[in-house]
Amino acid sequence: MYLKRLKDLRTDNDYTQKEIAEILNIGRTQYNRYENGKRDIPVDLLRILAKLYNTSIDYLVSDTNIPTRYPEAKNK
């Protein structure tokens, strides 16, 4: 799955691939494969990126064009 928004968000927020790889606790080469669509990115890493960029996973995977995060669930 090619996720163009990964690169766009990374560069818009002035991160290098190495910095994002460190945040995700993976190697830069592995992150590069995710960003270029050579490997699918695991959901747990998408969750970290969505929080980092204050957006939703749906936005990252282009299921929506609305970049805002969903509201957190309230405990009952």
pLDDT tens string 44-53: 999 999 999 9
Is residue 40 in some structural domain?
yes
User: What pLDDT is recorded for position 63?
Assistant: 80
Report yes or no: 60 and 46 within 8 Å, Cβ to Cβ: yes
Nearest to 63 by CA among 53, 52, 55: 55
Angstrom distance (rounded) from CA 20 to CA 31: 8
The model's pTM: 0.85
DSSP 22: H
Number of folded domains in the chain? 1
Would you say residue 73 lies in a domain?
Answer: no
Q: Is residue 67 part of a domain?
A: no
pLDDT at 76: 55
Is the distance from CB of 27 to CB of 34 less than 8 angstroms? no
Give the model confidence (pLDDT) of 14-50 as tens digits: 999 999 999 999 999 999 999 999 999 999 999 999 9
Q: Which domain holds residue 8?
A: 4-60
**Residue 65 maps to a domain:** no
Residue 25 belongs to domain with CATH number: 1.10.260.40
Please report whether residue 55 resides in a domain. Answer: yes
pLDDT band at residue 68 under the 50/70/90 scheme: confident
- Distance between CA atoms of residues 11 and 17, nearest Å: 9
